[in-house]
Amino acid sequence: MPMPAAQIEALIKAAIPDAEVEMEALQDDNDHWLARVSSAEFAGKSRVQQHKMVHAALGGRLGAELHALQLHTSVPN
């Protein structure tokens, strides 16, 4: 079952409370998303570590309910 943007955003914000999340549909199917996530918690972490934090926030849904998620992570200015 596809996953709406609001649900993805809520999961990320529950795990990373200060996260600013911007979702963009890559296809019109609620199954292919681009998430831009900015958080101070990413400071000092590699891009891989940042992505792992977001993946952990999704609790194993990536590849199941959520088919494809492209990530752009950053630390706020």
pLDDT in tens, 22-35: 999 999 888 899 99
Distant-in-sequence, close-in-space partners of 10: CB < 8 Å, separation ≥ 6: none
CA dist 19 and 75 (Å) reads 9
Reported as a single tens digit per residue, the pLDDT across 32-65 is 999 999 999 999 999 999 999 999 999 988 888 8
Distant-in-sequence, close-in-space partners of 33: CB < 8 Å, separation ≥ 6: 5, 8, 23, 24, 25, 26, 66, 68, 69, 70
The domains found in the chain, sorted by start residue, are 5-74 (3.30.300.90)
Q: What is the pTM of this model?
A: 0.91
